[in-house]
Every structure is written in structure tokens, then in C-alpha cells.
Amino acid sequence: MGQAPSTALASCLTAVCNSRSDCVAFPNAADYQISWVNRYNLDIPVEPIAVTRPETAEDVSAFVKCAVANNVKVQAKSGGHSYANFGLGGDNGELVVDLVKLQNFSMDTNTWHATIGGGHKLSAVTDKLHDNGKRAISHGTCPGVGIGGHATIGGLGPSSRMWGSCLDHVIEVEVVTADGSIQRASETENSDLFFALKGAGAGFGIVTEFVVRTHPEPGNVVQYSFTLTLSTHADLVPVFKQWQDLVSDPNLDRRFSTEFVMYELGVIITATFYGTEDEWKASGIPERIPTGKVSLVIDDWLGAVAQQAEDAALWLSDIRAAFTARSLAFRPDEILTLDAITELMNYLDDTPHGTLVWFLIFDSSGGAISDVPMNATAYSHRDKIMFCQGYGIGIPVMTQATKDFIDGIITTIQGASVQTLTTYPGYVDPSLTDAQEAYWGPNLQTLGAIKTKWDPNDLFHNPQSVRPGETS
């Protein structure tokens, strides 16, 4: 972990560790960037002032108090998948509290409420819920994502149209606040803080423990995949139009979710249906979804989660790389017109990419997510039915041409819209000029007031987190 620099902060952090190994590291450690910082996006450098690995909520509290005493900003890291390394502060000189050791888990078999430590990754959450009563919650497809960031920013995945987002399952948290105190927050206790933690958590505290409601695992899952090799992306105009017509149907069966993924040489349309093959056929969706070279797999919950993780790894894996990412969110009145689809596909065909490894992913949303009122949690995309994410991977390093190509995708879509499109903070976009408005729009003023109450000095800070007194 390197010898501690002779500073008051280093002395304080070292004292908290009390000679425990693997507890704190400083920039002079030989393996600091590789083993401790471990950036996800290698194109964005960041060097925290120190990285800590607490074992308890009391450790987290003590580390936060060290930061306060030394006027240092703090950010928690749970899984480390932040596109802009915001889990590492996003700015040099911040203190990182890595929750990797907070692995406590229990299941109340009377209520089927699970208590989950803030350091769990989604793969472990799936396995432990399965092993403790064959239970499940909604979450995303990347197994290396941490529950700490996922369940405090949204947490979208294939079952979200059926069950709601990951954060919609959270009923209570243990959280360390900016004064270093250990609090409980729920709808009945510290309800304003609970509101903020469910959608904008990184700016309001460090959640050390989640209590979540769970569901019985679905007995049957149908997974559909259609692949098409392209000569030009212009050939995709009617295919994408058909897919978008399906996902924008307000009566779309909530047991269904789907992705439309474009890449250099083709497209993959994936779909998940939580039910039997007969129910899948009876839904009418097979006749409405684009078809071609089709793969249909009937599976159970664990098999489906594993397959979704494998699919996600094709374009967004746990492997650290240099990449650029941009994203947009769409209400029903903001979906792409036929002219806009045509313009987008022509752009993909006519513009230099700067890399052979790029993806443009459209995800369905809505359903149960939209049942929750916009002002019930900080998460402000209840009215969205579709998201898109553009990724360009640097091979071996990021080029300006690739950044310009991905930026141009967003500009092309934005230019075709009569509205200014917003985006989901889980798909961090460091290029946004007004990120807070794009992420939390209608809830931003409320969040600014809560921030002023709970963290007036902006201790929990990253370049795009909510600021005290912020207004929309």
C-alpha cells in the first residue's frame, strides 16, 4: 500500500486502519493505479489522493471524518464501471472509499426482504438471492457493476419493464452522511435523504447497506436473438422503424424487453420475455419483432442472467479499455421519425469511425418504471420508453476521429429532434455542458435543497453530481 505521506490526512486514514493490511493506499504505492485505482475508462486519467477499503460502516464514517477535517472531497466506489471514472472522484485529489469489503448479506424469509452490503457486484447479488430462497430483483446485465452505484442512480435491466428499476426495490438503506454519522433512511425515516439517494446517490452519502424487496424468480424465460449482416446501415431503416414501433407501443407486454445493437458489420436484436414459450407466442410480439437469422432459447432465471451477461460482454465488458461514450433518452413524443432514422443510418455509413470497434445500442424502457411518480425519487426518467448509448473503443488508444464519430451520432439524433433530449446518469457523459439538468431535470431544484441540508459543503462530489442549492 506504499508508505503513507507525512500529511495530516494520511496520518488520519492510517490511524483508522490501525495496522490492517489492504486498508489504504497512497499514490506512491507501486501498484496504486493498477490495483487500487483501477480505472474503468483508460482514456480518462484520474489520481485520487488516497483509496481506502473499509470493512464496516464505522470505518466509512471514520474515513469521511478524516476527509472533512482535511478539506478533501469524497466519492464511493462499489463496482468501478463509471464511464468517466466518477467512482474515483473524477477529479484528482479526492478520497475514494472503495466498498469492496462490505459483503454482508442476509434474507428475511418472512418478508423476503434482503439486506445487501454496499460492496456487492451484480453477479454476487444474483447468486446470493438465488441461494436464499430463489429470489430476484431487477438489475442490469453487466456482472461487474456494483450495487452501490447501480441502486442509487437507477439500475436498468431486462426485467425493469416488469418489476421497475433496481432502485425501485430499495426500501431502506444504511448511509454515512457528510458529517460522518451513520444514518438509516427510508420513506419514514430521513425521507428527504432517501429521496435523493434513489437516483442521485453519489452526491449525498455512502450507502453501506441496502434493504430490498425481492420477487420469486420467474420459472420460464424466453430469449430471442436476431442477427443481420449488413452491406450498408441504410438497409436498417425499415428494420429499426419496425423495432421502434414495437417498443413505443403503450400497451406492450411488460414481461418483454429488448435491445437493438448496431456495430461495424451488422445488427443484433435481443429480446427477453419472462414467461413460457406458449405465452411468448400468445403475446403477439413474435409477429411484430424483426426477424432474420433467429436464435430462440427457453431458459430459467439464472440461465437467462448468464446469457444476458454474455451478450453484454460483446460490447461492454469488465475489461478496462480506452473508450468514449455518449447517450440519450427518449419520451414517446421524442422517438426517431423515419427521416431521422434515415439520416442516422446515412451518418453511420458516410462518416469515418476511427475504430472498427464501436456500438450503438438502443434499449426499451417504460412499463413498471413509469408507474412510479416522477417526484417520488430523484430518478427523473420515468417518462422515457427508450435509451440509446454510443460507444467507441480505442484500439489501442482513443483517437479524436472516434470521439468525433460518437459525438456526431448524438448531434445527428439531437438535430432531428424538436426537443432537447436528456440522458440517464448511469450512462455518464462527461461532455455534457449542463449534466445536472440533463440527468435530474424536474427533480433538480428539490435535490439542490436536500443537498444544502445534508451536504452544504459538497463533500460528496464528482464533476457532475448535484450541488448545494442547485436549481433547474
Residue 398 lies in a domain: yes
Residues 228 and 292 in one domain: yes
- pLDDT tens per residue across span 200-224: 999 999 999 999 999 999 999 999 9
The residue segments making up the domain with residue 258 are 221-434
**Residues 6 or more apart whose Cβ sits within 8 Å of residue 319:** none
Q: Is pLDDT above 80 for 391?
A: yes
Residues 397 and 297 in one domain: yes
Closest by CA position to 64, among listed 435, 465, 463, 454: 454
Residue 316 lies in a domain: yes
- Please state the domain count of the chain: 3
Residues 399 and 418 in one domain: yes
- pLDDT tens per residue across span 290-307: 877 778 787 888 888 887
Residues 276 and 376 in one domain: yes
Residues 404 and 285 in one domain: yes
Residues 230 and 173 in one domain: no
| Rg (the chain; Cα; Å) | 22
> CATH number for the domain including 412?
3.40.462.20
Cα 442 from Cα 375, distance rounded (Å): 8
297: phi then psi, degrees, rounded to nearest 5: -125, 130
- pLDDT tens per residue across span 262-292: 998 889 999 999 999 999 999 999 999 987 7
Residue 472 lies in a domain: no
Say what the pLDDT of residue 110 is: 98
Residues 236 and 140 in one domain: no
Q: Is pLDDT above 80 for 472?
A: no
Residues 197 and 338 in one domain: no
Residue 464 lies in a domain: no
Residue 463 lies in a domain: no
Residues 213 and 250 in one domain: no
Average pLDDT of the chain to the nearest whole number? 93
The secondary structure of 146-178, three-state, reads EHHHHHHHCCCCCCHHHHCCCHHHEEEEEEECC
Residues 24 and 42 in one domain: yes
Residues 365 and 261 in one domain: yes
Residue 467 lies in a domain: no
- pLDDT tens per residue across span 5-47: 669 999 999 999 999 999 999 999 999 999 999 999 999 999 9
182 touches 146 (CB < 8 A): no
Residues 386 and 428 in one domain: yes
Residue 461 lies in a domain: no
> CATH number for the domain including 444?
3.30.465.10
**Residues 6 or more apart whose Cβ sits within 8 Å of residue 142:** 81, 122, 309, 312, 313, 316, 317, 318
190 touches 183 (CB < 8 A): yes
85: phi then psi, degrees, rounded to nearest 5: 60, 30
The three cell numbers of residue 343 are: 439520416
Residue 120 lies in a domain: yes
> CATH number for the domain including 31?
3.30.43.10
Burial class, 169, CB count within 10 angstroms (exposed 0-12 / middle 13-18 / buried 19+): buried
pTM of this structure: 0.95
The three cell numbers of residue 38 are: 483501477
